[in-house]
């Protein structure tokens, strides 16, 4: 199964924005990308991130098929599921992912939060990623604190022997901090990996336009990196 598992170093780092841009780029290239957001929390009541991914991909499936568990409590999946009287079954989630993957030629799975966010008991996003076997795309902030967060995420992926396609840093604030360039360099030094790109801050009107997000992602990453992430020769 060809695709990516998009994970973050934290919540609110821009996973959905990056995922939407990649899905739209895949669509432009004649692919049939399939988005899957297994669990979304903080839904009121619609899963906004899942809807955004569906819109960007324009896939051959209903919007409700994108999100398996849309939960109201804004908390880790295991906590939100428990509050709703549910227990998330990662085997069932993996089965749904494989079924959805058959409906297109590129499956993009967006996790909730980071790799060690609990989904059920001791099972985390890392366990789900391992079940799916998709390479990780890690999204982190450019902000202060990202060195530790990003390096820890990459270290955990390595410890779990999860394949990693790369990581990128997303500027979530309008102005670049004085630490930004040094952060990228230090993450590379600690992890042994250079970032695929630093995605610039996008104004609100650009963030809401899937084509403009796709353009910005292509500008930041470059053609070769986009083709590699999409599994194109």
**Which residues are catalytic, by number?**
37
* CA 71 and chain centroid, separation: 18
Spatial contact of 61 and 34, defined as CB atoms under 8 Å apart:
yes
* Coil, strand or helix at 130: helix
Distances (CA, A) of 34 to 2, 104, 209: 10, 6, 19
Spatial contact of 209 and 184, defined as CB atoms under 8 Å apart:
no
Spatial contact of 111 and 15, defined as CB atoms under 8 Å apart:
yes
User: Which residue carries 């500027």 as its tokens?
Assistant: 171
């Amino acid at each position: 199964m060809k695709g990516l598992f998009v994970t973050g170093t934290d919540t609110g780092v821009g996973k959905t924005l990056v995922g939407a841009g990649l899905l739209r780029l895949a669509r432009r290239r004649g692919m049939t990308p399939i988005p899957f957001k297994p669990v979304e929390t903080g839904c009121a009541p619609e899963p906004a991130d899942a809807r955004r991914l569906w819109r960007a991909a324009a896939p051959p499936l209903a919007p409700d098929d994108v999100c398996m568990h849309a939960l109201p409590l804004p908390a880790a999946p295991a906590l939100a599921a428990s509050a709703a009287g549910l227990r998330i079954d990662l085997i069932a989630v993996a089965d749904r992912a494989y079924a959805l993957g058959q409906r297109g030629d590129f499956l993009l799975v967006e996790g909730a939060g980071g790799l060690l966010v609990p989904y059920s008991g001791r099972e985390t996003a890392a366990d789900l990623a391992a079940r799916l076997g998709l390479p990780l795309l890690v999204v982190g902030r450019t902000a202060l604190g990202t060195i530790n967060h990003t390096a820890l995420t990459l270290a955990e992926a390595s410890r779990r022997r999860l394949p990693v396609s790369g990581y990128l840093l997303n500027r979530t604030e309008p102005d670049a901090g004085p630490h930004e360039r040094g952060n990228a360099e230090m993450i590379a030094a600690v992890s042994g990996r250079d970032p695929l790109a630093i995605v610039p801050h996008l104004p609100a009107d650009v963030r809401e336009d899937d084509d403009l997000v796709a353009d910005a992602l292509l500008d930041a990453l470059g053609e070769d990196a986009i083709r590699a992430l999409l599994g194109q020769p």
